[in-house]
Amino acid sequence: MNFQLTEEQIMIQQAARDYAQRELIQDVIERDEKAIYPTEHIRNLAELGFLGMLVDPQYDGGGMDTVSYVLAMEELSKVDSSVGVIISVNNSLVCFGLEKYGTEEQKEKYLKPLARGEVTGAFLLSEPGAGSDATSQQTKAIDMGDHYLVNGVKNWITNGHTASVYLLIAQTDPAKGHHGINALIVDRHAEGITVGPHENKMGMRSSDTHSVQFTDVKVPKENRIGEDGFGFKFAMKTLEGGRIGIASQALGIASGAYELARKYAMERKTFGKPIIRHQAIAFKLADMATEIEAARFLCLKAAWLKDQGQPYGIASAMAKQYAADMAMRVTTEAVQIHGGYGYVKEYHVERLMRDAKLTQIYEGTSEIQKVVVSRAIESGNI
């Protein structure tokens, strides 16, 4: 495997790094404290091409590879993973699902404005009783002939309020189990949709997270993605790519915390020397750097497999599981290295630690990824 990045990949990485270190850093603490959605930053990043970076240029996207996406996600998430998750959902869940499985009419109407960043999208799978168990959908999409009538509630929806396009997973025929689930494109402003209050989260506080209620919402039949009953497979295939995005966010969070801890350890002195020269601190940093590098290679492997058109579901599960757990360990150590300063907001590491926790929870918990990997082991695929 060639570990050398191309000139284009380096350029994309540098562009993301420059924006994050120059612009995102300026107001990240205020946005975190007040849970302010990063409207201007998302607009700017859309103009730079990051909202539809994986989409083919024929649909107005950037046509970039998944390795470039991982590099960009890491750099943005070093500073603000709230921005990272907004971009991740738009790219790896919404745009990917539409481009891979949508009709040409659906791509023309919905994918192109999403790829240009004129609008954002949201992926509506989780429910009060159907998070990790995606087969237990209680949201109903009743077939009414020329349209579906949707009723139900979705929880923990990133971009729930700001999105213009929803990709909704709903049950049409309960008797068929997961074969009775459909994926529908829904206009966020359709009659009967009620968006709940902004969730007051521990971390990633400036991302837009809401519950969404559907009451007799009419969705045209032409807005169904794939054949009748394709919705569960659509969700599972889409989440495989989504996990690469989450793993990259976790990688970025950890990498950002490590860089701050290293800088602090080189500047802070005790007993007449920088604390990085104390073995207790030096060994912490050595472990952090090694774990981050391991996570980076897992992320890049999953991305490379996807770019090569090879199966990547197991690799993305491994990357997500390891990177998320690693991010929690690394950010905790970063706070510890900072001592009392790590516990105050202006040093950033406490925010990164709070953000890291969410990567262990969404897009399937770390335990769910272990189920995916252990089943692959049992079947002889690993």
pLDDT digits (tens, 9 = 90+) for 185-216: 999 999 999 999 999 999 999 999 999 999 99
| Catalytic pick among 7, 333, 363, 378 | 363
Instruction: Give, in order, the Cα–Cα distances in Å from 113 to each of 165, 174, 255, 324.
Output: 10, 34, 32, 31
Which superfamily does CATH assign the domain made up of 122-231 to?
A: Butyryl-CoA Dehydrogenase, subunit A, domain 2 (2.40.110.10)
Which amino acid is present at 313? Answer: G
- pLDDT score of 366: 75
Residue range(s) of every CATH 1.10.540.10 domain in the chain? 7-120
* Residue 181 near residue 137, CB atoms below 8 Å: yes
pTM, full prediction: 0.95
Catalytic residue check, 33: no
| CA 151 from centroid of its chain's CA atoms | 26
* pLDDT confidence tier of residue 132, bands split at 50, 70 and 90: low
- φ, ψ for residue 168 (rounded to 5)? -105, 130
Residue range(s) of every CATH 1.20.140.10 domain in the chain? 233-378
**How high does pLDDT run on average in the chain?**
95
Buried b (16+ CB within 10 A) or exposed e, 332-368: bbbbebbeeebeeeebbbbbbbbbbbbbbebbbbbeb
- pLDDT score of 40: 98
CATH of span 233-378? 1.20.140.10
Which fold, 7-120?
Butyryl-Coa Dehydrogenase, subunit A; domain 1 (1.10.540)
